[in-house]
Homo-oligomer: A and B are copies of this chain.
C-alpha cells in the first residue's frame, strides 16, 4: 500500500494509516529524470521537498576552482530537508545519478501533513537526524581516516543503507557510482581511488566493478573501515 518513501519512514516510526495515506497521496505524481540532471542548483530558491521514489541522486557543491565535493547520496526512499523551503537559497545542488522517479511535496502541503500526523513528523525528524549523523560520519572520515579506511567505510555505509531498503542480494548489491563520483565523495583523486580499490580487492575484502559491489569478507571490510553503524541509528529509542 505504501511506496519506498513511506516504507522507509515507517521503519523509523509508525506513520498511522492516515499518515501513510497522506504521504502516498502527496507523492503520487512522480516525475521521471534522466541520469545527471540537476533537480536544483546552489543559489536557487528552494522549492518543494524532493522525494526519491526510485533511483539514486547526490547532493554536491562545486568550488570556485571547479572541483566538486559530494555531500550525500540519496537512495530510493530518501528525501531532502523538510524545512528547506524556509531558506532564501540553496547552499548546494542535487543531481540524479541514475534514471530516477522523483516526487515533490509542496511546502504548504508538507506543513499540513506534519501538523496533522504526528507519526509522520516524528519519522521525518528521525530521518533527518540520521542524515545529520551521516554527515558527521563523513566529516570524521575525511578528517581522520586513511584513504583505504575511508573507502571501506563508505562501502559499509552504502551496503547497510541498501540492505535496509531491500536492494542487496547476499553480500552484493547494485552500486551505480563511477569512480569519479566516489573520488569526489571521498576527497581524493580518481587515480588514487582506483589504487585503493585495487588494494581492497587484493586483501580480499571487497570487489567493486562497474555498477556493483561484492563484499567478500564482511568482517575484514568492517575491520579495515573501523565501521560502527551506530550513527545510522537503526536501533531506535524504545517508548519514543
Q: A residues within 8 Å of B by Cβ?
A: 42-43, 45, 59, 61, 63-65, 67-69, 71, 81, 83-84, 86-89, 91-92, 122, 125-126, 128-129, 132-133, 135-140, 142-145, 184-187, 226, 228, 230-231, 233, 235-238, 240
Contact B89 A129 (CB under 8 A): no
Contact in complex: A88, B233 (CB < 8 Å)? yes
The interface residues of chain A, by DSSP majority, are classed as mixed
Q: CB < 8 Å: which of B64, B65, B67, B187 contacts A142?
A: B187
Say whether, besides A63-B145, A81-B129, A139 and B69 are in contact (CB < 8 Å): yes
Q: Which one of B81, B122, B135, B237 contacts A135 once the chains associate, using CB atoms below 8 Å? A: B135
Cβ distance A149 to chain B, nearest Cβ, rounded Å: 9
Contact B226–A129 (Cβ < 8 Å): no
Contacts of A81 in B (CB 8 A): 129, 132
Complex Cα distance, B64 from A116, in Å, reads 43
Q: How far is the CB of A142 from chain B (nearest CB, A)?
A: 4
* A121 nearest CB neighbor, chain B only: B83
Tell me how far the C-beta of A238 lies from the nearest C-beta in chain B, rounded to whole angstroms: 8
Among the interface residues A83, A125, A143, which one has the most CB atoms of the partner chain B within 10 A?
A143
Please give, as numbers and ranges, the residues of chain B lying within 8 Å of A137 by CB-CB distance.
91
30 pairs from A and B in contact (CB 8 Å cutoff): A42-B230, A45-B237, A59-B136, A63-B144, A63-B145, A64-B226, A68-B144, A69-B143, A83-B125, A83-B128, A86-B122, A86-B126, A86-B237, A87-B129, A87-B233, A88-B235, A88-B236, A89-B230, A89-B233, A91-B136, A91-B230, A91-B233, A135-B136, A138-B139, A139-B139, A142-B143, A142-B187, A143-B184, A143-B186, A144-B187
CA distance A77 to B122 in the complex (A): 26
Known A89-B230, A144-B187; contact A83-B235, beta-carbon cutoff 8 A: no
